Amino acid sequence: MSRGRDPLVLGQIVGDVLDPFTRSATMRIMYNNREILNGSRLRQSAVVDKPQVQIEGNDPRKLYTLVMVDPDAPSPNNPTDREYLHWLVTDIPETLDASYETGNIVSGNEIVSYESPRPQAGIHRIALVLFRQQVQQTVHAPGWRQNFSTRDFSAFHNLGLPAAASFFNCQRESGCGGRSRPMSRGRDPLVLGQIVGDVLDPFTRSATMRIMYNNREILTGSRLRQSAVVDKPQVQIEGNDPRKLYTLLRKPTPTDRDSPYRTCALPSASPAASASAWVASKLQHERLLRLP
């Protein structure tokens, strides 16, 4: 499926919870014998009991970790508890589900017990994320469910990118209407253009940057011909404290053979045209990702 039509992108699970990934496993989720598809809408009463989660395959030696989180807690307008951890299960083999029991043998190791979603305001997205384990390892339960980070959990346990993911929308019994989300996320052109997700993690803007090509101010999503971007742009950072410095990154052009990126340190309130030069950076991509 193309990136633009991926329901995980359209639902902003990619961006708010996950980085972009390529699916490498098939996960089926069932609530009360009803298969849940991306974007399904369920009431609280339908998710009281833990779901059946089946990973298709025939090699029980392959193990997976399942994470279930709510990125909209306590409300989509003010998700201060993002991500709220509802369920965490490790060592799930292929062909079996995380809640399947046979006698005293439980398929999967439940690290954090299932807590059913109980949204009190708005419609909440509930994401189920599946990771392929390279080895069987000890995983400890976090001290609290609020402000869990699926990305940090994956990095700490060397799980890599997800193998599969799905989400559904959950609403309280008496709730009505659609999702209520702040403009900064739902209508942000960086989200709609998938810059957040493909290039960046979600962030809150803390500076104002103006970009000018040939004395024309460029807005997010502007369309320009190649002939209009031959010369470097003017980039101005609004402010009046020249002691504040910034780093500007741009994607490489075909002539940038010596460096994958180029950077320029810009003082506040100074356009890029007056900066000393674009400085070739020898930073590797991994280091660039860690820039503050």
Please spell the DSSP secondary structure of 238-291, one letter per residue. --S-TT-EEEEEEPPPTT--S-S-EEEEEETT--GGGSS-PEEP---HHHHHT-
Residue 3 pLDDT grade (very low, low, confident, very high; cuts 50, 70, 90): low
Distance CA(129)–CA(55), nearest Å, equals: 12
Most confident option among 171-180, 248-257, 273-282 = 171-180
- pLDDT at site 187: 53
Strands 34-35 and 27-31: antiparallel
Residue 49 confidence (pLDDT) above 80: yes
Q: Provide, for the chain, the percentages of residues in helix, strand and coil under a 3-state DSSP scheme, each rounded to the nearest 5.
A: 15, 30, 55
For the ranges 19-28, 100-109, 119-128, which has the lowest average pLDDT?
100-109
Residue 111 · residue 158 · CB < 8 Å: no
- pLDDT at site 152: 94
- pLDDT at site 261: 39
Residue 186 confidence (pLDDT) above 50: no
Residue 243, both tokens: 């002691």
Residue 118, both tokens: 């109980």
Residue 108 · residue 131 · CB < 8 Å: no
Between 177 and 78, where is the model more confident? Answer: 78
Distance CA(286)–CA(270), nearest Å, equals: 29
Average pLDDT over residues 166-185: 66
pLDDT in tens, 260-278: 434 444 444 443 333 333 3
Average pLDDT over residues 138-165: 95
pLDDT in tens, 10-34: 899 999 999 999 999 999 999 998 8
Average pLDDT, the chain: 77
Whole-model pTM: value is 0.60
Residue 216 pLDDT grade (very low, low, confident, very high; cuts 50, 70, 90): confident
Residue 258 pLDDT grade (very low, low, confident, very high; cuts 50, 70, 90): very low
Please state, as a whole number, how many other Cβ atoms lie within 10 Å of the Cβ of residue 285: 8
Tokens 């020898």 belong to 282
- pLDDT at site 204: 75
Average pLDDT over residues 142-146: 94
- pLDDT at site 127: 97
Among residues of the chain, what percentage have pLDDT more than 90?
A: 40
Distance CA(79)–CA(160), nearest Å, equals: 26
